[in-house]
Amino acid sequence: MQANRATLVKRGLLGIVIFLVVAQAVPYGRDHTNPPSVKEPEWDSDATRELVHRACFDCHSNQTHWPWYSNVAPVSWLVLRDVQQGRHAVNFTEFQFKQRRAKDASDEVSGGDMPPWFYVIMHPRAQLTKQERKALVSGLENTFE
Burial class (CB in 10 A: 0-12, 13-18, 19+), 58: buried
pLDDT at position 98 over 90: no
Q: In terms of pLDDT, which residue wins out, 11 or 45?
A: 45
Among 64, 70, 79, 59, smallest CA distance to 33 is for 64
Please state, rounded to an integer, the average pLDDT across all residues of the chain. Answer: 87
Flag the least confident range among 16-20, 95-99, 124-128, 136-140: 95-99
Query: Domain of 44?
Result: 2-144
Total Cβ atoms within 10 A of residue 15: 10
At residue 35, the 3 state secondary structure works out as coil
Total of domains in the chain: 1
Which pLDDT tens digit goes with each residue over 17-62?
A: 777 777 677 777 677 889 999 999 999 999 999 999 999 999 999 9
What's the pTM value of the predicted model, to 2 decimals? Answer: 0.79
144 phi/psi in degrees, rounded to 5: -105, 10
**pLDDT-derived band at 99, boundaries 50, 70, 90:** low
pLDDT tens profile 80-89: 999 999 999 8
**DSSP assignment string, 83-111:** HHHHHHH--TTB--TT-TTGGGHHHHHHT
CB 5, CB 14: distance < 8 Å: no
Residue 77 · residue 29 · CB < 8 Å:
yes
